[in-house]
A = this chain, B = another copy of it.
Amino acid sequence: MESSIGIVGSGVSGLHLGLFLLANDVPVTMYAQNEPEEIRRGRLLNTVGHHHHTLERERSLGVHHWDAAEYGYVCHHHFIAGDQEVRFRGDFTHPSSVIDYRLYLPRLMEDFQERGGKLVVVDALGVEEVNRLSSRHDLVVAAVGRGGIGDLFPRRDDKSPYDRPQRQLSAGIYNGITYSEPKGVNIHFSPGHGELLELPIYSHDGFATALLFEAIPGGDVEELARVQVDEDPTAYDRLVLEKLRRHFPMAFERVDSTEFGLWSPRDLLQGALTPIVRRDYARLDSGRHALAVGDCHVVVDPVMGQGANSASYSAWTIGEAIVADHVYDERFCERVARRREEFVISVSEWTNLMLNPPPHVLEFIGAMASDKALCDEFTTNFNHPDKQVDVLGTAERTRTFLEMRQAAAVGNRG
């Protein structure tokens, strides 16, 4: 008796799950909206970092094609603009990396097919298609953030504090910016206007810098998310330079303006998203169940670089649960929900907290600025979102944590 799993979507969660199932001899069909080659030639999809825990899963699946020692980065540089410039660094225990998804996804789709996975490219992937597909499979995993499939899974109001985007986004790949040393992601804060993430990306033409502007609505950076680039790419470059100079001087100082510019209009992605947590699973018309994963389940703002990592973690949890069980009913879905909740919900809570930091979070950032060990821990905990919320979730948690840390330091000196 063979169970068959249907995965709707071919993003990172769908692929990691599909490859996991193939490695465990579970028959699986993946439904995608695009051929690998279309994705390669397409528009920038995101600028997402894969952290160590995700890279470990890639290694275990045999799809870590871009050795983090060569393609990755090892730290976060933090820059706070203002009358007094603040610069501080946090090191990872293990490197992370940013590989353009137009390289990453097609390559893993091909891995999936080469290993015997069935990839079906379909025109549309909506709620209706999911319902129809479900009769062919014991379980459907809904792994598409767009196209309304998320509507299958009701919004969890208790975990979804926002009803609109908290940032307007502009992500693009640029020439003409020197990397910081050591190679890292640079996180710039411009109070009142938002954040800029500078990411050392590897893309179709090699290494470059991705600039992800996280613009606070109503602030001076927001227009980067709205201005059309195709009409006048050079004007867009000038606008970006101007925003860097005014709001992110510690990025601007590494710009060579004669070289500076977007690779091409297709290397820019503009938009905005509303953070949301949806229910873990739904019962379909066929009586079978569908599990939500990735953006179909939880949408987070990209500011903390957690979305893909959370999606991959979640996919792995689903894969392990599938292999361990033999019926994919509500009990199974509840188990998946329980096992991933701490990680996945922490990703959401932590990211939401950083978008609108309360005083105790600002105090913690201040503490990191003068305590590199603390900043290293925070940086490595990009792999442990649950620990980030343990420390930052409430004012009491942060205060107690910092007090215990100080007491331990005194004890060590004593």
Contact = CB atoms under 8 A, between A and B. Distances in A.
Interface of A: 1, 325-327, 329, 331, 335, 338, 341-342, 389-390, 393-394, 396-397, 400-401, 403-404, 407
A331 B342 CA distance: 10
16 contacts: A1-B400, A1-B403, A1-B404, A1-B407, A326-B390, A326-B401, A326-B404, A327-B397, A329-B396, A329-B397, A331-B390, A331-B394, A331-B397, A338-B338, A338-B341, A338-B342
Nearest to A349: B331
A14 to B, nearest CB: 26
Contact of A327 (B1, B325, B400, B407): B400
A407 B2 CA distance: 11
Given A326-B401, A338-B342, 15 more contacts: A1-B400, A1-B403, A326-B390, A326-B397, A326-B400, A326-B404, A327-B396, A327-B397, A329-B397, A331-B390, A331-B394, A331-B397, A335-B342, A338-B338, A338-B341
Interface centre among A331, A338, A393, A404 (most CB of B within 10 A): A331
A21 to B, nearest CB: 17
A185 to B, nearest CB: 28
A184 B404 CA distance: 51
B329 A394 contact: yes
A68 B390 CA distance: 40
Contact of A331 (B1, B325, B331, B389): B389
B401 A331 contact: no
Contact of A393 (B331, B393, B396, B407): B331
A389 B327 CA distance: 12
A73 to B, nearest CB: 29
